[in-house]
Amino acid sequence: AQTVTQSQPEMSVQEAETVTLSCTYDTSESDYYLFWYKQPPSRQMILVIRQEAYKQQNATENRFSVNFQKAAKSFSLKISDSQLGDAAMYFCAYRSNTGNQFYFGTGTSLTVIP
Amino acid sequence: DTAVSQTPKYLVTQMGNDKSIKCEQNLGHDTMYWYKQDSKKFLKIMFSYNNKELIINETVPNRFSPKSPDKAHLNLHINSLELGDSAVYFCASSQYGLAGETQYFGPGTRLLVL
């Protein structure tokens, strides 16, 4: 089974600064999808950003962008101009191009300091 | 216009009881999932249904029985509840072949077994 590793259980960032959350994964597949989900204290799991492995261009969504390094099997999330509302648990997830299962990392708890 | 809804949001019950959690999605998706999130925030897939057919059935006690009356609904019934069943249970849905099969999550059901 694929594994997803988030090596930073906790991170903090000053409001308006930039922070990068790390994610690495293990797979022998060449085609797959990667996701970042955000879980604020409300518990709702919210999709932040999605990356298709066959695309070389890094995905961006407003203040959120990824650094996808396929050879290194790395998929980090960069949050620019951090806001108080960004405080949440962030989960990295992998989905194979075959099969329906998502593999989630253990999460990174992000604190935003005013 | 809630995309994935779950009821109830909170469930407090005694050990040994039987309880059900309901999930409905109005996204027209053909695949639905149940996840368990423990106290350490680790997300674990339990079941997945595609067009009402069970496709993922992880190692879960047989006290847990999913039921999918139609592809918009996936309910979770739990018999003989145990203390270790206390967790947050998330329902999710996705559409085969669409957008990397991004999963959209419900708000979660916090189950507390006393």
The proportion of chain A whose per-residue pLDDT surpasses 90, expressed as a percent, equals 80
How far apart CA B57 and CA B33 sit, in angstroms, is: 10
CB-CB under 8 Å, B42 with A107: yes
How far apart CA B30 and CA B58 sit, in angstroms, is: 19
User: What pLDDT shows up at residue B40?
Assistant: 86
| CA within 13 Å, CB half, A12 | 4
pLDDT tens-digit profile, chain B (114 residues): 669 999 999 999 999 999 999 999 999 999 999 999 998 888 988 988 888 888 877 778 899 999 999 989 999 999 999 999 999 999 999 987 766 778 999 999 999 999
Banded model confidence at residue A99, pLDDT cuts 50, 70, 90: low
Residue of B nearest to A49 (CA): B102
CB contacts, 8 Å: B33 with chain A: 100
> A7 vs chain B: nearest CA distance in angstroms?
14
How far apart CA B59 and CA B85 sit, in angstroms, is: 14
For B95, other C-beta atoms within 10 Å of its C-beta total: 15
Interface test with A, best of B47, B59, B88, B101 (most A CBs within 10 A): B101
Task: Quickly list DSSP for A57-72.
Answer: SPPEETTEEEEEETTT
Residue of A nearest to B110 (CA): A43
Residue B97: partners with Cβ closer than 8 Å, 6 or more residues away: none
**How many residue pairs bridge chain A and chain B with CB atoms within 8 Å of each other?**
53
Within the 69-108 window of chain B, which residues sit less than 8 Å (CB to CB) from chain A?
Answer: 88, 90, 92, 94, 96, 99-105, 107-108
Structure tokens at B29: 């998706």
Instruction: Pick the closest to residue A42 from A8, A11, A87, A105 (CA basis).
Output: A87
CB-CB under 8 Å, B90 with A95: no
How far apart CA A43 and CA B42 sit, in angstroms, is: 13
Q: Which amino acid is at B39?
A: S
CB contacts, 8 Å: B90 with chain A: 45
Contact between A16 and A114 under an 8 Å Cβ cutoff? The reply is no
